[in-house]
Amino acid sequence: MDTTDRKLLMLLQQDSTKTTKELSLKLNLSVTAIYERVKKLEREGIIKKYVAILDQKKVEKTFVVFCHLKLIQHTKEYLTRFEQEVTKLEEVLECYHVSGDYDYILKIYVKDMEAYREFMVTKLTTLQHIGSTHSTFMISEVKNTNVIVL
């Protein structure tokens, strides 16, 4: 990956809807060269996918919860089972296996506190092997980006 690839990736992270022509003008390369570079980055798995970032307010998912979770045991079977089950929960946008006092941190988006309670009671706490949970609620978003600086 050279400097041009890095610049191209930065531009695509900021706005992946830019056309190859727009990108070629910014990088001073031909449309064909840009197209080939993008295809190469996709083939190599550097670009995994393209997504649309939604406005949380307009889709009524403004209640953000960070749920710290402990399993009752740390066996491979329990970890694997929990991970398979949690990935099916549509309210969970992110799940990280972490070190420290808790085993996992979940980032959950719901409409409001009532919706979160419903999620906890009917979905999350029904998963097997959960020992305890600790929820932290977002007050305000200070920084949220998907851009990895290269």
Compute the average pLDDT of residues 64-72: 97
Q: What pLDDT is attached to residue 43? A: 98
Q: What pLDDT is attached to residue 40? A: 98
Confidence of residue 3 (pLDDT cuts 50, 70, 90): very high
Tokens found for residue 45: 């798995």
Confidence of residue 111 (pLDDT cuts 50, 70, 90): very high
Q: What pLDDT is attached to residue 60? A: 97
